[in-house]
Amino acid sequence: MLSYIYKRTSNAVQVLLFVSIITFAVLQWIPGDAAQLILGSEATPENLARLRTALGLDRPWYIQYWHWLKGLVQFDLGRSYVFGQDVVTLIQQRLPVTISIAVFSMLIASTIAIVLGILAAIRKNTMVDYLATGIMQLGSAVPAFWLGMLMIVYFGLELKWFPVSGYVPPDRGLGGYLNSIAMPSIVLAIGEVGMLLRTVRTSMLEALGQDFMDMAKAKGLSSFTIYFKYALRSAMIAPINVMGLQFAKLVGGTVVVESVFGLPGVGRLILVAVEQRDVFLLQGLVMFVTALVILISLLVDIAVMFINPRIRIEMQGE
Amino acid sequence: MAEEKVLDIENLTIRTQRGRTLVDGISLHLYKGEVLGVVGESGSGKTLTAKTILNLLPENLSWEADRFAVLGADYLTLGKKDTKALVGQKIGYVPQNTGSYLHPMIRIKDQIIDGYLRYTKNNRGEALERARELVKAVGIRDTERLLKSYPWQLSGGMRQRVNIAMALMNQPRLIVADEPTTALDSTIQMQVLDLLKTVNDLYETPVILVSHDLGLVKYYCERIVVMYAGQIMEAATVEQVFSNPKHPYTRALIKVIPSLNIKKGERLAEIPGQLNAVGTAGGGCAFKERCSFRQEACEYTIREKTVADNHYYRCNLDF
């Protein structure tokens, strides 16, 4: 168990190191350095040289990389020159927004997917199943930005149920907070629910066809026990993996939805970094998102391990 | 023996949704205290028959019968819920030993007691106590460790003992054992069947023993039903079947039982040909393609006969 976590962690470190090399190399190769970008095309060569020295850009690339890496280990992701603030501070400000809509959209998507997926599998080829199939197709076919705009027009401007844009932190009122993230969460959920629903339905159908289901029925157990204790338990592993992947993707930034709803989240920060060619910010963000995705997938793997006794016991190793 | 009918099935037919016949008008009777062997090759319909008794027929199959009474309850009029409750409460199911009949993610103890808890007012502690007794009775020594295990931590023989103990939890009035010894070593096969026989002797619980192995089943049954292509070819007591087999298929089955003094390099006997699809007999005998005594009449007609002491068979010939 511990050796497994150790193995996975050292694996994660290797991946992070690899990503750091790629990120650094790519941003080195693109034309125009940071000093040029900061001072603009009118800058004098003397000023440019001075800024390069100040930023350390005049030193060889491996020294630059080493300094950056040393910072990373100490959770120093560098400093954004567009915002004039530490990247870590910028992320800290924006992460709650992104986490909020990621968590809420996953809650909405997984509730719908699990309930409807189970029903669709149990009542295969009935109205519930057709409804589920419809949602699967709708969710993956409708673009998020368009759906978001429709919701703003109808629920925001027409009915005035939710604010059209912006984010209210929870410490300024829970109601306002929930209202501000409701629409973006729903839009994201609709995008995620199709895939998850399909996974739940498929693995539930597979579980229902297993021999142990015959045994559960022959024992005359209640339908609830048959479906939840027997079928769902073996059907949950694939959906949990999918949920983990989806959550990791959402936490890594939801550029489109954050833009449509004017939310100051990580996705928008990435957008700014790219648009303004803020190399240091971009480097920091890439490393942060990578680390987050690796962490979440590690947590998901450990969760799956706890659900599946076979893996858990083999991990403990006699 | 009290002539109480545990199972009274007349003219059972099982069809697919498209109307293909899988079991073709069979009648089965089982009396209290009896062990009935249902023997046939794969595809003969024996497992489907057992599944109908257990109310486990897949949804894409349907059955009809003139009579289908199990433990006095008529399946033809019994509601869905009541059928499920009857099976859970009064019928013990011993499945094929593939291990897949036990849930891999649930501990043995939780699987063994959940059916019991559903149909008694007893609490978990009492249920576990009963599980311990039964697990011990089926010959498992380290009961505590077994109950805490997951199915995949056990050997095939152990799993089948667990299945038998589980089937006995609700003091069943009928045991349906569907190929209970598949994939087990021959010594373990005997142990498992001995165990079923002991239960039968001790509690007079009637048993339906479905198997493809006539040579094995004969030691444990009073009567044998030989099935082929969804039909019953012959039904009689074990003595009658072995001393005076009336059907060529039964004769062939007896012939292919491997003997212990087989010589090295000698081929095992087999029945030539393949099991043909059910319902292709076209009025004639279902076994005609593989029968070495085939006559012209077998193509279009078949005679059903019952001779001395309820010895039934379906053949145009008289041996």
Residues of A in contact with B107 (CB under 8 A): 309
Whose tokens are 């006539």? That residue is B214
- Under 8 Å CB-to-CB from B176, ≥6 apart: which residues? B50, B53, B54, B91, B92, B93, B94, B207, B208, B210
| Probe site for chain B from A125, A219, A237 (most B CB atoms < 10 A) | A219
Q: What is the pLDDT of residues B162-187, one digit of tens each?
A: 999 999 999 999 999 999 988 788 88
The mean pLDDT value of chain A amounts to 87
Q: Which of A220, A225, A310 faces B87 most closely, judged by CB atoms? A: A220
**Chain A: residues touching B (Cβ < 8 Å):** 210-212, 214-222, 225, 229-230, 233-234, 307-310, 313
Interface test mutation site (partner A, options B103, B118, B168, max chain A beta carbons within 10 A): B103
Helix (H, G, I), strand (E, B) or coil at B313: strand
Residue B66 vs residue A317, higher pLDDT: B66
Residue contact B106–A214, C-beta within 8 A = no
Distance, first Cα to last Cα, chain A: 11
Sort out which chain A residues have CB atoms less than 8 A from B84's CB and list them: 217, 220
Taking contacts as CB-CB distances below 8 angstroms, the residues of chain B near A125 are none
Q: What is the DSSP letter of B289?
A: G
Q: What is the pLDDT of residue B291?
A: 84
CA–CA gap between residue A48 and residue A243 (Å, rounded): 48
Looking at the structure, give the CATH architecture of the domain made up of residues A99-276: Orthogonal Bundle (1.10)
Give bridge partners of residue B228 from the DSSP assignment. B231
B105 at interface of A, judged by CB pairs closer than 8 A:
yes
8 Å CB contact of B103 and A230? yes
Nearest to B87 among A210, A218, A309 (CB): A218
Asked if B56's CB is within 8 angstroms of A217's CB, the reply is yes
Spell out the residues 6+ positions from residue B14 whose beta carbon is closer than 8 angstroms to its own: B21, B22, B23, B45, B48, B49, B52, B57, B61, B62, B63, B230
User: Beta-carbon neighbour count of residue A210 at 10 Å?
Assistant: 18
Q: Decide if B175 touches A, using CB distance below 8 A.
A: no
Burial code (b: 16+ CB inside 10 Å, e: under 16) for B217-243 equals: bbebbbbbbbbbbbbbbbbbebebbee
C-alpha angle A160/A164/A170, rounded to 5°? 100
Instruction: Work out the pLDDT band at B295, boundaries 50, 70, 90.
Output: confident
B13-59 residue pLDDT tens: 999 988 888 998 899 999 989 999 999 888 889 999 999 999 999 98
Q: Which chain B residues are within 8 Å of A219, Cβ to Cβ?
A: 88, 93, 114-115, 118, 166
Query: CA of B90: which chain A residue's CA is closest?
Result: A219
CA distance linking residue A192 with residue A133, whole number of Å: 14
- Give pLDDT tens digits for A66-113: 888 888 888 888 888 888 899 999 999 999 999 999 999 999 999 999
| Range from A38-42, A258-262, B69-73 carrying the lowest mean pLDDT | A38-42
A234 and B56 within 8 Å at the Cβ level: the answer is no
- Please tell me which residue of chain B has the smallest CA distance to A216: B115
Give the range among A37-41, A212-216, B89-93 with minimum mean pLDDT: A37-41
**Helix (H) or strand (E) run with residue B7 in it:** strand B5-16
Any residues with CB less than 8 A from the CB of A193 and at least 6 apart, and which? A108, A109, A112, A113, A135, A136, A139
CA distances to A81, A269, A271, A277 from A280, rounded to whole Å, are: 8, 12, 14, 9
Q: Token pair for residue A167?
A: 């984010």
Query: For tokens 């893996």, what's the residue?
Result: A311
DSSP three-state, residue B124: helix
* Start-end of H helices in chain B: 46-53, 80-90, 108-119, 124-137, 143-148, 156-168, 186-203, 214-217, 238-243, 248-255
Q: How far is B259 from chain A (nearest CA, A)?
A: 34
Tell me: pLDDT of A266 over 80.
yes
pLDDT digit string (tens) for A182-241?
A: 899 998 998 899 999 999 999 999 999 999 999 999 999 999 999 988 999 889 999 999
Instruction: State residue B268's pLDDT score.
Output: 67
Task: Quote the CA–CA distance of B9 and B25 in Å, as a whole number.
Answer: 10
pLDDT tens digits for range B104-138: 999 999 999 999 999 988 899 999 999 999 999 88
Mutation target among B51, B59, B84, B108 for the A interface, most CBs of A within 10 A: B84
* Segments making up each domain of chain A, as ranges: 99-276
The mean pLDDT value for A131-136 works out to 87
Residue B1 pLDDT exceeds 90: no
